[in-house]
DNA sequence: AGACTTATGCTAAATCTGAGTATAAGTCAC
DNA sequence: GTGACTTATACTCAGATTTAGCATAAGTCT
């Protein structure tokens, strides 16, 4: 059986924690060699540019009984974390996603996962590092209003991409997609279309990864025609991250997953800040309180927090019973007001 | 490289159409041999019992440029259908999902897909056959009220499963899960928890597949202690179907995917019936009309349908412009009234 | 003490939802 | 052709939910 008809499966994890009101993912700084560690111990190709990547490793079909167990094992080895909540995101399998494939290596499939935890569970003594996810997707953070990068860089670049379309029809298609994904031309901004936006930017050649994947060797995004749009990642890891953000923003609406990111007790403001961090937008405080309290998502503990400078707040905990009362317990987000 | 460290990837498609107000999926009646057609043309093991299965086939890493292209190619070969809308669902990789694995074969991964189309696109001259999806998941259809199978078979069987738990704590855990998944003990029925329910039934050993996978050879579900719960499928295809139903019921809320299942123009009642078929519940007609009309999802064509016995209805079409107006254009379902 | 910060209670207006009434415009049996 | 029946469509109304504020409570900081 030739190399080219073999398949290797890599597992990738977006490991998320929210600390200091900032959603952070665990990244490894690494060279862009293959996902695959050859089983025969042969030398890996020398790493190219160092670049951020998600923790990942191959599925060992002989050892790993399930995909999730394989993922947990790899994360433990690479980062020292014993992950709790885990959710599968998507499986990517386009040819030549991995640079090694182009050199005649085996076909690579990568399965993306999302894991939620708290930063304090991380052991030391590891090369892993927490980094704000908005470093990679800066246009997704609307907490301080419309991100500048949108008007200053993205919009002009996307307009240019529309203009270089083959014909009028193709241009119109591009315009429609851009308008819907980025809330231009009168369309509203939709906080859930994170993946749409990243993929559009990739297709338009506006993120570093696109140029790299098209064959320019060793490109890191620095030398793009536009200034680089967000921090690039190796392989398709940024696409996986975008998938994770999309999925999570959608999921908090109908499942109480936020609590995986919080300590056992918390104030309502802490809870709100975490939701805002994920959603990338601010929420109305009083309404948020009503939502989670009347919605039965939380219950007071009677204890007060050592307030950080104001009236002390009551400490709440997640109310597990809500699961049997309501079909979809979560925190729905308002549609973003237009700016 | 030994067989056991190799990986084969199978692609499975839930191909759905709604005809005569019934959601139907394309199935192939086939023996339970492996997903894998050996590349060297060696003989396959003799088929066991004939059983329904989804169209599926291996990813050929040398030929298929993307997973989706591979899927389309396989579907075309097996069923003659050129699928339109396609969406990836989930990747399953537990060891021993496939009977052949237990016999020392390679590790099998299967990637599930959902495809939406209309039945009339199917060519003849194929072994494929449309079957109502509720044949496989009969407890999911509440259009004529609460399904009888729930009270008569499922509830008693689940209660028995709770009772045989190891200790009181385990029993309580089981009860909680059952109550939430099946809307018992005061919890509401949640039409979206299709996958939860199937996996619970599998874990409780109440579907034919569970017994088969535990090692009983050639079991087809007929000889179960309880009468069989829904029609079984080969491998984990019923789990993939349950995933598809869950996903689709969730998605019609915020994306206008229903229209993939309808002809270009349709009456509002036709549209409603399709949504009801997917959701497995009845909707209030006047409110549904208001929802889709005022929501901008459809626009009238001015033409009238050749009424099937009543006042003729106007023909509508999907209003593409809604995509740029609203972030989440879809048909939200009411929470099911309790029975 | 007074400014400032955060927590929490409460309300008015707008919108959305669920359920029903009423009327229009066809088909079908006879 | 008339009356029963079927489906389509318009409109209403009450209640729930959502959005956006105002107002007050209870701390910290200078």
Residue ranges of domains in chain A:
3-133, 138-232, 259-325
Q: Say how many C-beta atoms besides its own lie within 10 A of residue B321's C-beta.
A: 12
Buried b (16+ CB within 10 A) or exposed e, B260-276: bbbeebbbbebbbbbbb
pLDDT tens for A54-96 read: 998 899 988 899 999 999 998 888 888 889 999 999 999 988 6
Among chain A residues, CA nearest to B175: A324
- The minimum CA-CA distance between A223 and chain B, rounded to whole Å, is 29
Indicate if the pLDDT at residue A20 is higher than 60: yes
Task: Please give the pLDDT value at position B102.
Answer: 66
Instruction: Please give the pLDDT value at position B86.
Output: 97
- Residues on chain B touching A66 (C-beta within 8 angstroms): 93-95
Distance CA A178, CA A224 (A): 20
Q: Which fold has domain B260-325?
A: Arc Repressor Mutant, subunit A (1.10.10)
Number of A–B residue contacts, CB under 8 Å: 114
Provide the CA A289 to C1' D29 distance, Å, integer: 27
A284: Cβ under 7 Å from strand C?
no
Could you read off the pLDDT of A281-327 as tens digits, one per residue? 999 999 999 999 999 999 999 999 877 778 999 999 999 999 988 88
Q: What is the pLDDT of residue B282?
A: 94
Residue A97's pLDDT is 67
Confidence of residue A48 (pLDDT cuts 50, 70, 90): low
- Reduced DSSP (H G I as helix, E B as strand, rest coil) percent helix, strand, coil of chain B, to 5: 35, 20, 45
Q: Which chain A residues in 150-209 lie under 8 Å from chain B, judged by CB atoms?
A: 176, 179-180, 185-193
For the CA of B336 and the C1' of D14, the distance in angstroms is 20
Q: What is the pLDDT of residue B4?
A: 54
Q: CA-to-CA distance for A280 and A136, rounded, in angstroms?
A: 13
Mutation target vs B (from A4, A6, A7, A174; most B CBs, 10 A cutoff): A7
Nearest CA in chain B to A67: B93
Mean pLDDT of A174-195: 94
Looking at the domain that runs over A3-133, which CATH code has it been given? 3.90.79.10
**Whose structure tokens read 């936006």?**
A197
A328–B190 C-beta distance less than 8 A: yes
The two beta strands, B7-19 and B107-116, are: parallel
pLDDT category of residue A223 using cuts at 50, 70 and 90: very low
Give chain A positions within 8 Å (CB) of B4.
Answer: 61-62
Say yes or no for a CB contact (<8 Å) between A188 and B326.
yes
Phi, psi of B194 (to 5 degrees): -60, -45
pLDDT band at A45 (very low <50, low <70, confident <90, very high): very low
Q: Tell me which architecture the domain covering B3-132 has in CATH.
A: Alpha-Beta Complex (3.90)
pLDDT for the residue B37: 44
Distance between A274 CA and the closest CA of chain B, angstroms:
23
For residues B62 and A103, which has the higher predicted lDDT (pLDDT)? Answer: B62
Instruction: Check: CB of residue A106 under 8 Å from CB of residue A6.
Output: yes
Please check whether residue A110 is in contact with residue A55, taking contact to mean a CB–CB distance below 8 angstroms. no
B65 touches chain A (CB under 8 A): yes
pLDDT in tens, A118-144: 876 565 556 788 999 999 999 999 999
Determine contact, residues B45/B33, Cβ cutoff 8 Å.
yes
Q: What is residue B143's predicted lDDT score, i.e. its pLDDT?
A: 94
Rounded to whole angstroms, the distance from the CA of residue B144 to the C1' of nucleotide C22 is 27
A309 touches strand C (CB under 7 A): yes
CA dihedral A88, A94, A97, A100 (to 10 degrees): 110
Which helix (H) or strand (E) is A298 found in, with range?
A: strand A298-304
Mark out the alpha helices in chain B (DSSP H runs).
67-79, 99-102, 148-149, 155-163, 168-182, 194-203, 208-213, 237-251, 268-279, 285-294, 322-325
Shortest-distance nucleotide from B293 CA to C1': D9
The DSSP string of A56-85 is EEE--TTT-SSHHHHHHHHHHHHH-----E
Q: Contact A186/B324, CB-based, under 8 Å?
A: yes
**Nearest Cα to A92, choosing from A67, A106, A107, A109?**
A109
Q: How large is the C-alpha radius of gyration of chain A? A: 21
CB contact under 8 A, A7 and B59: yes
Average pLDDT of span A31-53: 55
Nucleotides of C under 7 A from a protein CB: 4-11, 17-21, 24-28
β-pairing verdict for A50-53 and A22-31 = antiparallel
Q: Check if the beta carbon of residue B126 is closer than 8 Å to that of residue B143.
A: no
Residue B264 (CA) to nucleotide C16 (C1'), in angstroms, measures 29
SS3 at position B58: strand
Asked if B261 and B117 touch (Cβ cutoff 8 Å), the reply is yes
pLDDT number for residue B232: 93
Name the band, by pLDDT with cuts 50, 70 and 90, for residue A99: low
Tokens 């890599």 -> residue = A10
Q: What is the mean pLDDT of chain A?
A: 85
Question: In DSSP terms, which residues pair with B21 in a beta bridge?
Answer: none
CATH number assigned to the domain with residue range A259-325, chosen from the 4 options 3.40.50.2300, 3.10.150.10, 3.40.50.970, 1.10.10.10: 1.10.10.10
- Judge whether residue A11 has pLDDT over 70: yes
B335 touches chain A (CB under 8 A): yes
- The Cα–Cα gap between B195 and B247 comes to 9
Q: Is B67 an interface residue toward A (CB < 8 Å)?
A: yes
Q: Which of residues 226-255 of B touch strand C (CB under 7 A)?
A: none
Q: For residue B35, give the 3-state DSSP assignment.
A: coil
**Residue A185: its chain B contacts at CB < 8 A?**
324
Under an 8 A CB cutoff, do A328 and B185 touch? no
Distance (Å) from CA A334 to C1' C14?
15
Q: What parts of chain B have a pLDDT lower than 50?
A: 1, 33-47, 217-226, 336-339
Residues 6+ apart with CB under 8 A from B269: B285, B313
Verify whether the Cβ–Cβ distance A94 to B8 is below 8 Å: no
**Chain A residues with CB-CB distance to B328 below 8 A:** 190, 192
């Amino acid at each position: 059986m030739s190399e080219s008809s073999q398949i290797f499966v890599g597992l990738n994890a977006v490991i998320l924690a929210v600390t200091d009101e900032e959603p952070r993912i665990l990244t490894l700084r690494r060279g862009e060699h293959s996902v695959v560690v050859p089983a025969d111990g042969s030398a890996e190709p020398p790493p190219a540019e160092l670049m951020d990547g998600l923790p990942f490793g191959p599925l060992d079909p002989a050892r790993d009984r399930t995909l999730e167990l394989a993922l947990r094992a790899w994360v433990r080895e690479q980062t020292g974390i014993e992950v709790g909540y885990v959710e599968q995101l998507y499986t990517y399998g386009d040819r030549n996603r991995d640079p090694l494939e182009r050199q005649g290596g085996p076909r690579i499939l990568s399965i993306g996962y999302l894991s939620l935890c708290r930063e304090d569970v991380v052991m030391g003594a590891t090369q892993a590092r927490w980094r704000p996810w908005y470093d990679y997707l800066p246009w997704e953070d609307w907490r301080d209003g419309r991100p500048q990068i949108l008007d200053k860089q993205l919009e002009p670049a996307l307009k240019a991409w529309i203009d270089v379309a083959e014909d009028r029809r193709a241009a119109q298609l591009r315009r429609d997609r851009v308008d819907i994904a980025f809330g231009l031309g009168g369309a509203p901004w939709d906080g859930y279309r994170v993946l749409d936006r990243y993929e559009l930017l990739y297709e338009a050649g506006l993120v570093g990864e696109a140029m790299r994947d098209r064959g320019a060797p060793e490109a890191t995004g620095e030398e793009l025609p536009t200034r680089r749009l967000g921090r690039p990642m190796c392989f398709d890891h940024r696409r996986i991250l975008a998938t994770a953000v999309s999925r999570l923003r959608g999921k908090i609406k109908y499942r109480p997953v936020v609590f995986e990111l919080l300590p056992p007790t918390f104030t309502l403001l802490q809870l709100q800040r975490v939701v805002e961090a994920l959603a990338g937008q601010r929420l109305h405080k009083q309404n948020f309180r009503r939502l989670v309290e009347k919605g039965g998502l939380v219950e007071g503990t009677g204890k007060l927090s050592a307030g950080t400078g104001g009236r002390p707040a009551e400490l709440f905990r997640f109310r597990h019973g809500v699961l049997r009362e309501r079909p979809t317990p979560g925190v729905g987000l308002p549609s973003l007001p237009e700016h």
